[in-house]
């Protein structure tokens, strides 16, 4: 990004000081691109007994059929040991499993090696999770409204009601004083998404006009990443459509650059701009990764192999929207590269103003207990 000296810019880790490692599943089958498969997998697990149930579960050092753990915050699931579980399937929840790939997860603590309860505890309607993705220099900071399974993760708010931002104390006041107008926590995140650079540093500016430009860019990126509200359209108002019916079980994904068409076996979707097909995250084409997550091979006899019998219509709808989102974000990434940050508010200035360094307490989760949490075997959890 021209005009930025990243060595002088404050680190994201200081501006949003509380971070959490991403949840680690420990086994793949509790997550899937469709909720129906998860319910079928759960039912297969609880129907099985003895050694068959253990093999299906795929035990790890952290989780076995005999592990006793508390409920995840905000979730109503059983807490008896899975060895004797017979209850109904936990209601799947939406998660971000890979960049730009929202899937579903069984929110049962017994199934997840490291679920990060502190993340679940602060989830709420107004929460936004910033997701570090430094392996993608073109867009090293992502954002999502659903629980991410990648990261590290920096929640925008330290409490589920949004009453305490996960920002350096005094940062909002300092920015407001330098810019001449109020600044909100979401403004800071939008600016960070638009400007975060190498080493996950965030160049700040005291130029109100430049701040407004970066803020508009960041808000647009946030809107596209969070998929909130009206379905976006391609430039010129176009939308991709299915031009030839998709097969029940597509196995190959190809791109016709001349025709701007995405080919799923004999199925055909267009228009698909080259920017969508070429869009990469972490060195992999997002569309190819998304397709493989839904069609790739799974070992026979495992719960991961329990999948839809045919390609669901919802996947087609999600694919059409993803094509549009990637096209629009590709355009915004170019604008992001051209944003020259001047009139810098440096890390040294923030230290002189007493904003940095942040106190140790804000690097730890807030004490949050908004409702009763059930512990192992139905006991009340102690926090």
User: CA-CA-CA-CA torsion for 148, 152, 158, 160, nearest 10 degrees?
Assistant: 10
Residue appearing with tokens 């060195």: 283
Query: Distance (Å, rounded) from C-alpha 9 to C-alpha 348?
Result: 9
- In angstroms, the CA 148 to CA 99 distance is 9
Residue in 72, 95, 17 with CA at minimum distance from that of residue 350:
17
Torsion of CA 222, 228, 230, 231, to 10 degrees: 80
Per-residue pLDDT of the chain (383 residues; tens, 9 = 90+): 444 456 699 999 999 999 999 999 999 999 999 999 999 999 999 999 999 999 999 999 999 999 999 999 999 999 999 999 998 999 999 999 999 999 999 999 999 999 999 999 999 889 999 999 999 999 999 999 999 999 999 999 999 988 899 999 999 999 999 999 999 999 999 999 999 998 999 999 999 999 999 999 999 999 999 976 677 888 888 899 999 999 999 999 999 999 999 999 999 999 999 999 999 998 999 999 999 999 999 999 999 999 999 999 999 999 999 999 999 999 999 999 999 999 999 999 999 999 999 999 999 999 865 556 666 655 555 44
Can you tell me the distance from the alpha carbon of 75 to that of 9, in angstroms, rounded to the nearest whole number?
A: 40
* CB-CB neighbours of 282 under 10 Å: 13
Distance in angstroms (rounded) separating the CA atoms of residues 331 and 293: 25
- Say which residues have a Cβ less than 8 Å from residue 97's Cβ, sequence separation at least 6: 31, 103, 105, 149, 150, 293
pTM recorded for the entire structure:
0.94
- With tokens 């006793």, the residue in question is 68
């Amino acid at each position: 990004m021209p005009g930025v000296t990243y060595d002088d810019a404050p680190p994201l880790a200081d501006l949003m000081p509380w971070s959490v490692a991403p949840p680690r599943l420990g086994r793949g089958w509790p997550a899937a691109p469709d909720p129906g498969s998860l319910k079928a997998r759960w039912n297969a697990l609880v129907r099985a007994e003895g050694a068959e149930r253990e093999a299906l579960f795929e035990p790890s050092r952290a989780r076995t059929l005999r592990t006793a753990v508390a409920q995840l915050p905000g979730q109503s699931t059983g807490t008896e040991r899975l060895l004797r579980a017979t209850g109904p399937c936990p209601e799947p929840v939406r998660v971000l499993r890979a960049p730009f790939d929202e899937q579903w997860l069984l929110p049962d603590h017994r199934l997840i090696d490291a679920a990060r309860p502190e993340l679940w505890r602060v989830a709420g309607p107004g929460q936004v999770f910033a997701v570090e993705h430094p392996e993608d220099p073109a867009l090293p900071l992502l954002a999502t409204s659903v629980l991410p399974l990648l990261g590290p993760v920096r929640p925008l708010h330290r409490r589920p009601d949004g009453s305490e931002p996960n920002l350096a104390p005094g940062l909002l006041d300092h920015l407001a004083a330098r810019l001449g107008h109020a600044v909100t926590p979401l403004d800071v995140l939008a600016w960070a998404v638009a400007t975060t650079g190498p080493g996950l540093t965030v160049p700040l500016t005291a130029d109100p006009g430049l701040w407004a430009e970066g803020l508009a860019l960041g808000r647009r990126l946030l809107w596209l990443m969070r998929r909130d509200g009206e379905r976006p359209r391609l430039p010129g108002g176009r939308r991709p459509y299915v031009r030839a019916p998709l097969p029940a079980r597509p196995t190959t994904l190809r791109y016709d650059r001349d025709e701007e068409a995405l080919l799923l076996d004999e199925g055909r979707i267009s228009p698909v701009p080259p920017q969508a097909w070429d869009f990469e995250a972490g060195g992999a084409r997002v569309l190819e990764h998304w397709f493989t997550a839904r069609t790739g091979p799974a070992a026979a006899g495992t719960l991961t192999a329990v999948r839809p019998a045919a390609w669901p219509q919802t996947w087609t709808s999600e694919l059409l929207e993803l094509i549009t989102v990637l096209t629009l974000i590709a355009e915004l990434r170019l604008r992001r590269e051209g944003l020259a940050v001047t009139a810098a508010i440096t890390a040294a200035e923030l230290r002189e103003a007493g904003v940095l360094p942040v106190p140790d307490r804000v690097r730890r989760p807030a004490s949050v207990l908004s409702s009763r949490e059930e512990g192992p075997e139905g006991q009340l959890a102690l926090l």
